[in-house]
Chain A
Amino acid sequence: MSEQEIVTDVVIIGAGPVGLFAVFELGLLDIKCHLIDILDKPGGQCAELYPEKPIYDIPAFPEISGQELTDNLLKQAEPFGPTYHYNRMVNELEKQDKGDYLVKTDAGETFRCKVVVIAAGGGSFQPKRPPVPNIEDYENTSVFYAVRKMDDFRDHDIVIVGGGDSALDWTLNLAPLAKSLTLVHRRDSFRAHTDSVNKMRALVEEGKINFELGQIASLEGENGQISAVNIKNADGEKSLPATRLMPFFGLTMKLGPVANWGLNLHENLIEVDTEKFATSEEGIFAIGDINYYPGKLKLILSGFHEAALMAQAAKKIIHPDEKVVFQYTTSSTKLQKKLGVK
């Protein structure tokens, strides 16, 4: 896939709270950002793991939920017009001559920038893999955790496992084009929206799809192509003919490609200094939960502080000839103009 390069000052890897606040701090210094996250939404752990839970240790907010914090950070970053790219993983980071970096995603884009900010938190959120023997041999050829192209499922014997919205939505979407479709779930009760569940039950009644109670026990197939999914339930084992399998057990954090970028690591965390939060590579910074330095606390508060100091150091790389004057947002007309204060 050859696409045009997207040229920007900074690419931020991870749109968790710390990546979002970095947009603000960099923006005050006239630096433009693109953010990339594998999730389909901003907020990182706050949005994915505890949107409804109150956080009590954000300065000046006696209580704020993970989602409210995320929404506020988005609003705060808005004046600086960041570009968000969701549903894609950053898998490559390459240094070019003249100190530029190329950042590549699994969606085929390439970004060219002077500074990379890694705000990858606890790692990228990736689908949980069922502990079924040899399942990895079939992944991305006949076992999928997401649908990229519906056509890859046309006229296939599809088995979908799970009881949440992803499982039910894809059951409903793929049913019309499948050769056969079986939904497998451990119980006859679903977490998904009632509306989707009712539609699914109607399709089962009409004999258009099948529903089986149970869970995956093993797979049959060869050369990356499955031929059957064996499930087990209270009655024993049962073999379902299948050429496509989609397990939906939610997401879990995994360090992922960050470990392959040649940066100094400390127990899977990126080592940084505490003046600039710079990594062992000039022009690459790491802030938030992903970094390590003596005394590090994995708190949102600490990530915010790191973002502010990182921004000062990034400024010197991006606009080396500009002198940075320290200013307060309360009193600087210049900063207020940038923020759109009337």
Chain B
Amino acid sequence: MHIYVTDHNGKEHELEALEGWRVMEVIRDWGLPIKAECGGACACATCHVFVDPDWQDKLHAASDEEEDMLDMVPDVEDNSRLSCQILMSEELDGLKVSLAPSAKPDAEVA
């Protein structure tokens, strides 16, 4: 099972993913830069990704909790999701996402 992740420089990476893992964990464990400050607790919104339009409808809808947390994303778009809230399964083999600026590890802050 694989996912395709475009980094902040526009480079696409093919990453092997395991069933049941969070997309955030896959990205982090392969060493791509993602802040994911709360470790997947849906409490920080720093694991923000943009989902490829072809894949948007194939994901389960964001929970209320995730929607609320997306309010904490300063660069939110229609295809914004929190990657810690997407669990890998067979149907998501081939999922394409790109890392959002607000998920950069030393994200610019005041």
Given A164-B71, A164-B72, A145 and B110 contact (CB-CB distance below 8 Å): yes
The verdict on B32 contacting chain A, using a C-beta distance below 8 Å, is no
Query: Would B43 and A128 count as touching, CB distance under 8 A?
Result: no
Query: Would B35 and A252 count as touching, CB distance under 8 A?
Result: yes
A50–B40 CA distance with the chains assembled, in angstroms: 10
Interchain Cβ contacts within 8 Å, total number: 71
* Interface SS of chain B: loop
Query: Would A252 and B75 count as touching, CB distance under 8 A?
Result: no
Q: How far is the CB of B8 from chain A (nearest CB, A)?
A: 11
Chain B residues positioned under 8 Å from A129 (CB to CB)? 74, 107-110
A226–B55 CA distance with the chains assembled, in angstroms: 39
A7–B57 CA distance with the chains assembled, in angstroms: 61
Chain A residues positioned under 8 Å from B37 (CB to CB)? 49, 122, 252-253
The verdict on A303 contacting chain B, using a C-beta distance below 8 Å, is no
A227–B39 CA distance with the chains assembled, in angstroms: 39
Chain B residues positioned under 8 Å from A136 (CB to CB)? 110
Given A247-B74, A250-B45, A252-B107, A49 and B38 contact (CB-CB distance below 8 Å): yes
The verdict on B46 contacting chain A, using a C-beta distance below 8 Å, is yes
Contact with A along B55-87 (1 / 0, CB 8 A): 000000000000110111111100000000000
The verdict on B44 contacting chain A, using a C-beta distance below 8 Å, is yes
The verdict on B102 contacting chain A, using a C-beta distance below 8 Å, is yes
A252–B67 CA distance with the chains assembled, in angstroms: 18
**Chain B residue, CB-CB nearest to A140:** B110
* Interface SS of chain A: loop
Query: Would B107 and A128 count as touching, CB distance under 8 A?
Result: yes
**Chain A residue, CB-CB nearest to B70:** A186
Query: Would B76 and A215 count as touching, CB distance under 8 A?
Result: yes
Given A49-B41, A250-B45, A186 and B109 contact (CB-CB distance below 8 Å): no
28 A-B pairs with C-beta separation under 8 A: A49-B38, A49-B43, A49-B44, A126-B110, A127-B110, A128-B72, A128-B74, A128-B102, A128-B109, A129-B107, A129-B109, A130-B75, A131-B74, A131-B101, A139-B110, A164-B71, A164-B72, A187-B67, A191-B71, A215-B74, A215-B76, A247-B74, A249-B72, A249-B74, A252-B107, A253-B37, A254-B106, A255-B106
